[in-house]
């Protein structure tokens, strides 16, 4: 569970619209890791930043690549279900990464997007490589709470996109972030900068994890 600390400034009064709303929670972040190909599946849920099993799960992502389709819809469904269990007052965010075109359960996609919006979940979409449905990813992001779309074609660009957030120091609004990663076959069969795409993603996630540990130690 999250270590919960309510933060209420002693010398300010909340605006009328905020009275009765859930106060922000300040504390440590949590990370969940989800994969999807023919279907979505939870790999690690609500892990602490220093949990060694989280790093091991990231390094083993290449072993989970498979299937013959890209079920982005089910990946998003699992992400929303995990984040719904997050206590109120904690920021909820999804990074949804895909290198292709979703081609399974597409008829349910916008229902899942609506569920994310209703739960005030920020869904950021990453188009990875040069063959993905940019228009669809933009629509998903724009339809959710403060979501954004990013196109990346290198390790540096992916690392920069993921490593957003507050600078080190001062109180930190607790956040639960789900990384939903496309693990369809193209992630090992196709390359980026001379390496399998999934290897680039693993490196970016490990760098991100180390960055967060330094910032919020």
Q: Position of tokens 């980026």?
A: 192
Q: Position of tokens 């300010």?
A: 12
Return the pLDDT at 213. Answer: 86
Q: What is the pTM of this model?
A: 0.87
d(CA 102, CA 82): 21
Residue-by-residue pLDDT tens, the chain, 217 positions: 555 444 444 444 334 333 334 689 988 899 999 999 999 999 999 999 999 999 999 999 999 999 999 999 999 999 999 999 999 899 999 999 999 999 999 999 999 999 999 999 999 999 999 899 999 999 999 999 889 999 999 999 999 999 865 545 557 789 999 999 999 999 999 999 999 999 999 999 999 999 888 876 5
**C-beta of residue 91 within 8 angstroms of C-beta of residue 43:** no
Return the pLDDT at 27. Answer: 83
Return the pLDDT at 36. Answer: 98
């Amino acid at each position: 569970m999250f270590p919960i600390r309510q933060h209420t400034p002693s010398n300010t009064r909340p605006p009328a619209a905020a009275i009765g709303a859930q106060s922000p929670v300040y504390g440590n972040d949590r990370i969940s890791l989800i994969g999807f190909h023919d279907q979505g599946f939870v790999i690690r849920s609500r892990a602490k930043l220093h949990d060694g099993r989280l790093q091991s799960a990231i390094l083993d992502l290449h072993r989970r690549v498979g299937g013959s389709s890209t079920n982005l819809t089910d990946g998003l469904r699992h992400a929303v279900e995990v984040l719904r269990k997050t206590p109120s007052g904690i920021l909820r965010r999804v990074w949804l990464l895909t290198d292709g075109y979703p081609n399974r359960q597409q008829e349910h996609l916008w229902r899942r997007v609506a569920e994310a919006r209703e739960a005030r979940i920020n869904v950021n979409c990453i188009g990875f490589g040069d063959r993905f449905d940019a228009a669809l990813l933009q629509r998903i992001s724009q339809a959710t709470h403060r979501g954004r779309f990013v196109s990346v074609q290198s390790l540096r660009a992916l690392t920069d996109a993921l490593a957003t957030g507050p600078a080190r120091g001062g109180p930190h609004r607790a956040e639960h972030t789900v990384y939903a990663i496309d693990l369809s076959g193209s992630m090992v069969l196709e390359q980026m900068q001379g390496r399998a795409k999934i290897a680039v993603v693993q490196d970016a996630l490990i760098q991100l994890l180390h960055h967060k540990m330094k910032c919020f130690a």
